[in-house]
Amino acid sequence: MKEELLFDKFRKLLLKERELLKENRLSEVDSVIKEKSLIIRELDDIKAKRGQFKPESLDILNELKRLQGENIEILNKEIERVKQDLKNLRFEEDSKREYLQSNLVEDKKRILDQNT
């Protein structure tokens, strides 16, 4: 396949990946990444045969790098959000555990007081 077509297909995949990331459809991102990997292999083969890409492809490459960087930023933000959610859940669980333990101690004291 011609490098221009591969770059165009890669660009479309990057945009699809961004849409999936923004919609939190992370399970579908994996298939897009696999498709991107196949295209990268083809582009690597082209570059290996020629020694470099066509000069006009360099601008396209820079745009693709920019898009990929933006997608990575979106993914990193989602990762941070999930980490924060996990911290919040742990805090809630710890708070519940402490509350239950303190109630248990109070109940034991009350029972002991009643028995004496």
pLDDT tens digits along 68-100: 999 999 999 989 999 999 999 998 888 888 888
pLDDT of residue 99: 84
Q: What is the mean pLDDT of residues 33-57?
A: 89
Tokens of 7: 């770059």
Given a cut of 70, whether residue 32 has pLDDT beyond it is yes
Residues 6+ apart with CB under 8 A from 57: 3, 4, 7
**CB-based contact 28:19 (threshold 8 Å):** no
pTM of the full structure: 0.66
Mean pLDDT of the chain: 89
pLDDT of residue 1: 66
